[in-house]
Chains A and B, each alone.
Chain A
Amino acid sequence: MQRRNLLLGAILVASTALAGMPALAAGDPFKIGLILPMTGPFASTGRQIEAAARLYMAQNGDEVAGRKVELIVKDDASVADTTKRLAQELIVRDKVGVIAGFGLTPLAMATAPLATRAKVPAVVMAAATSSITEQSPYVVRTSYTTPQVTSKIAEWAAGQGMKKVVTVVSDYGPGLDAEKTFVAVFGAAGGEVTETLRVPLQNPDFSPFLQKVADAKPDAIFAFVPSGVGAQFMKQFVERGLDKTGVKLLADGGITDDDILNGMGDPALAAITGFHYSAAHDSELNKKFVADFASANDGMRPNFMAVGGYDGMHAIYAALEKTGGDSSGDALIAAMKGLAWESPRGPISIDPETRDIVQNVYLRRVERQGDQLWNIEFETFEAVKDPGKTGS
């Protein structure tokens, strides 16, 4: 029998008493609770965003409108109920002024009602499902939405005279979102999606699906897969010889994620992607961002996650500046609506109606410059709103 364990348990219960003393100081710093997946399969999302947020603070100081800004980073390991609990604790115990981060859609969905109840702004820096901003009037997004990017890829494909396309998406929320958008927009523009294939999220061996594509002989294939497995997708695309048979590979830019693009090698050259950010975006601001990011993080290249985090911090800073240090949730949200600024990705703004981001969408192809691979932008769609809401 292990009855003795009971005493141990009682001691453990009692010891929590020591762990939880409230930490409310009078100097009133402005705290930002950043909840990210720092471990598990989506850890790199968390790393990019945290690094970018810290870079923003290093570049712009940690004082806004007379208040000292503090960043509290928490790991939710991309488990939704943990995200929600951490957010709740940050609001209740740490008295944060803003919660931010949210690596995946369900994590943001779980927390949105909380933002409403607590009247605390939630800045979504990564999750990309269209409907997130409709879940609470306190949600603001600085990443992108899947339909925003996908609809422009579909428009462009139709404009290039492509008629038959097969879609291959990972079988989860964002993938299905992309599939739906592509089918609708491409169909409306006169094209035809002959087959829609869905790949299980677990065990991403794409070969059977790509074989189906090869058999269907379309003009192009539209792919949406999580950024980590994009490299495998393109390698197997080339391995099947699909690039030789003239099938174009169109994809959401996550597939040529800047973070790991360099390791992908030549197969990446096959992809034409649409996206809102490329580390190769041609602007002074972006060059400085990429250089500073790399020097602060051991040569790491910022990706779309990083720019979402960076701009999220800007939105918070700018709103606090505008309210003159008033950190009530309503004031901050009101201040964030309609903000417009120049980001490393180009000009962006927060739609005052939907609190969603309005930004340029670029079409890019991968090119080798020196010994490095970059996403080179060759066409721009300006100030794109999320079609999931505007219906445009």
Chain B
Amino acid sequence: MSDTTLSHPATAARPDAGQRASRDLLRRGRLKPAEIVFWLATAASFFLLPDRHLLLSEIVILGLFALSLDLIIGYAGVVSLGHGAFFGLGAYVAGLVSVHLTGEPLTGLILAALAAGILGLATGPLLLLRASDLTRLMVTLGVAMLLLEAANRAAWLTGGADGLQGVTINPLLGRFEFDLFGTTAYAYCLIVTFALFLLARRVVTSPYGLSLLAIRDNALRARSMGIPVGPRILGIYAFSALIAGVAGALLTQTTMFVSLDVLAFHRSADVLLVLVLGGVGYLYGGLIGAIAFKLLQDWFSAITPQYWMFWMGLVLMVIVLIGRDNLNALPRTLMRRLRREDRA
């Protein structure tokens, strides 16, 4: 990704605006050192924490789900309280594929992604109404609840409230069995998530992604600049739905079970919470939010299984009151202090 500059020979003495723009884009497209550290740390967690792979898989799945939500909230300015619809659809499709077609995991993953993407395309037009954030929240919520009811009704297909029985997943690539310790599951989730992250990053740093930012900041101006607002939003919504579907499929495949609560309201609400906690609009927010949220939850609920929500709420509230920007500045101030000591 870093050596693509070659394709743009900067021979001209004064590069014109178009070339400058594409160079800017390329610079944005490169992985920054901090990002590399982040992914190395994530990879290291696989080797350093062999007995927490189960929790880590759950974190990565939630992180990927939140990442998909970030694509529409952070990059297109479309809020949603019904993203669980795509997650749940992906989860059910992956489950049904394993029951009726094949236990091969990658096939299920791809079909789930497609199904969720198509649902995204189908329901996307609802978001193009000239509407407030609140209306969008409620329309997306409504779609998700309708899907939940449909799944409840279609008990012959989905197993209804008891959950879908008989989901079995074959070894990954025919070699790696999904073991009790969750090691294969975690590696699988990590690799899929990383690949999709790179894809998402590619999309948002492309000219297409930039046009989305323009729409987010001012849809009216974007339209008068000739950006086709509707199709662009629809496109990113479907892409986001697709990723959410993959996250759902990962959940089904690693737990080998699907039940109605993959579509429940709390999924959509939790993922929004996680994303806002991590921060919107820079792709890592969902992942970081998921890590922080799940670790806090795991920690508090180990101490007090009954009242962990109270402490969780307190922490979230304090974070909002202090302001995330101030928190973000913390590592920087620490860094600066360290560097100063280095020089001394």
Name A's B-contacting residues (CB within 8 A). Answer: 1-17, 19-20, 22, 36, 38-39, 43, 46-47, 73-75, 78-82, 84-85, 88-89, 91-93, 105-106, 109-110, 113-114, 117-118, 129, 131, 135, 171-174, 176
Contact status of A39 and B162, CB under 8 A, knowing A5-B282, A92-B181? no
Of all A-B residue pairs in the complex, the 5 with the closest CB atoms, nearest first, are A173-B161, A9-B288, A75-B305, A106-B259, A6-B34
B285 with A5: CB separation less than 8 A: yes
The answer for the CA separation of A368 and B87 in the assembled complex, in Å, is 50
Name B's A-contacting residues (CB within 8 A). Answer: 32, 34-35, 37-38, 41-42, 44-45, 48-49, 51-52, 54-56, 58, 152, 155, 160-163, 165, 180-182, 251, 255-257, 259-262, 266, 278-279, 281-282, 284-285, 287-288, 291-292, 295, 298-299, 301, 305-306, 308-309, 324, 327-332, 335
Q: Which residues of A contact B306 (CB under 8 A)?
A: 38-39, 43, 46-47, 75
A74 with B305: CB separation less than 8 A: yes
B282 with A109: CB separation less than 8 A: no
Q: Which residues of B contact A88 (CB under 8 A)?
A: 54, 180, 182
In the assembled complex, the CB of A203 is this many whole angstroms from the nearest CB of chain B, namely 11
Q: Which residues of A contact B161 (CB under 8 A)?
A: 105-106, 172-174, 176
A2 with B328: CB separation less than 8 A: yes
Contact status of A74 and B292, CB under 8 A, knowing A5-B279, A80-B259? no
A6 with B305: CB separation less than 8 A: no
A12 with B295: CB separation less than 8 A: yes
With A46-B306, A81-B255, A176-B160 known, 16 other A-B pairs at CB within 8 A are: A2-B282, A4-B34, A4-B328, A7-B37, A12-B288, A13-B38, A13-B45, A39-B309, A75-B301, A80-B261, A92-B181, A110-B259, A114-B180, A117-B180, A129-B162, A172-B152
The answer for the CA separation of A114 and B309 in the assembled complex, in Å, is 28
A17 with B49: CB separation less than 8 A: yes
The answer for the CA separation of A209 and B161 in the assembled complex, in Å, is 22
Checking A4, A20, A36 against B49 with a beta-carbon cut-off of 8 angstroms, the contacting residue is A20
In the assembled complex, the CB of B253 is this many whole angstroms from the nearest CB of chain A, namely 11
Checking B38, B45, B257, B279 against A81 with a beta-carbon cut-off of 8 angstroms, the contacting residue is B257
In the assembled complex, the CB of B178 is this many whole angstroms from the nearest CB of chain A, namely 10
A20 with B51: CB separation less than 8 A: yes
In the assembled complex, the CB of B52 is this many whole angstroms from the nearest CB of chain A, namely 4
Q: Which residues of A contact B37 (CB under 8 A)?
A: 6-7, 10
The answer for the CA separation of A36 and B301 in the assembled complex, in Å, is 12
The answer for the CA separation of A5 and B266 in the assembled complex, in Å, is 26
In the assembled complex, the CB of B281 is this many whole angstroms from the nearest CB of chain A, namely 8
In the assembled complex, the CB of B319 is this many whole angstroms from the nearest CB of chain A, namely 12
Contact status of A80 and B292, CB under 8 A, knowing A13-B41, A16-B49, A17-B45? no
The answer for the CA separation of A118 and B34 in the assembled complex, in Å, is 41
Q: Which residues of B contact A117 (CB under 8 A)?
A: 180
B35 with A6: CB separation less than 8 A: yes
* Nearest A-chain residue to B37, judged by Cβ: A10
B162 with A173: CB separation less than 8 A: yes
A–B Cβ pairs within 8 angstroms, 15 of them: A2-B281, A8-B288, A9-B291, A17-B49, A20-B51, A39-B305, A80-B255, A89-B54, A92-B182, A106-B163, A109-B259, A118-B180, A171-B152, A173-B162, A176-B161
A110 with B257: CB separation less than 8 A: yes
Contact status of A12 and B282, CB under 8 A, knowing A109-B163, A109-B259? no
The answer for the CA separation of A38 and B56 in the assembled complex, in Å, is 23
The answer for the CA separation of A2 and B331 in the assembled complex, in Å, is 11
A7 with B48: CB separation less than 8 A: no
Checking B163, B261, B279 against A2 with a beta-carbon cut-off of 8 angstroms, the contacting residue is B279
The answer for the CA separation of A106 and B163 in the assembled complex, in Å, is 6
Of A4, A22, A46, the most chain B CB neighbours within 10 A belong to: A4
* Nearest A-chain residue to B300, judged by Cβ: A75
B52 with A16: CB separation less than 8 A: yes
The answer for the CA separation of A176 and B155 in the assembled complex, in Å, is 11
Q: Which residues of B contact A79 (CB under 8 A)?
A: 261, 266
Q: Which residues of A contact B45 (CB under 8 A)?
A: 13-14, 16-17
A85 with B52: CB separation less than 8 A: no
Q: Which residues of A contact B48 (CB under 8 A)?
A: 17
B278 with A5: CB separation less than 8 A: yes
Q: Which residues of B contact A16 (CB under 8 A)?
A: 45, 49, 52, 56, 291, 295
Q: Which residues of A contact B42 (CB under 8 A)?
A: 13
B49 with A110: CB separation less than 8 A: no
In the assembled complex, the CB of A32 is this many whole angstroms from the nearest CB of chain B, namely 15
Q: Which residues of B contact A78 (CB under 8 A)?
A: 261
The answer for the CA separation of A129 and B165 in the assembled complex, in Å, is 14
Of A13, A14, A85, A172, the most chain B CB neighbours within 10 A belong to: A13
Q: Which residues of B contact A43 (CB under 8 A)?
A: 306
B329 with A12: CB separation less than 8 A: no
The answer for the CA separation of A282 and B287 in the assembled complex, in Å, is 57
B41 with A19: CB separation less than 8 A: no
Checking A19, A38, A80, A113 against B299 with a beta-carbon cut-off of 8 angstroms, the contacting residue is A19
A74 with B301: CB separation less than 8 A: yes
Contact status of A5 and B284, CB under 8 A, knowing A109-B257, A173-B160? yes
Checking A4, A15, A89, A110 against B255 with a beta-carbon cut-off of 8 angstroms, the contacting residue is A110
Q: Which residues of B contact A10 (CB under 8 A)?
A: 34, 37-38, 41
Contact status of A39 and B54, CB under 8 A, knowing A92-B181, A113-B256? no
The answer for the CA separation of A38 and B307 in the assembled complex, in Å, is 8
B328 with A75: CB separation less than 8 A: no
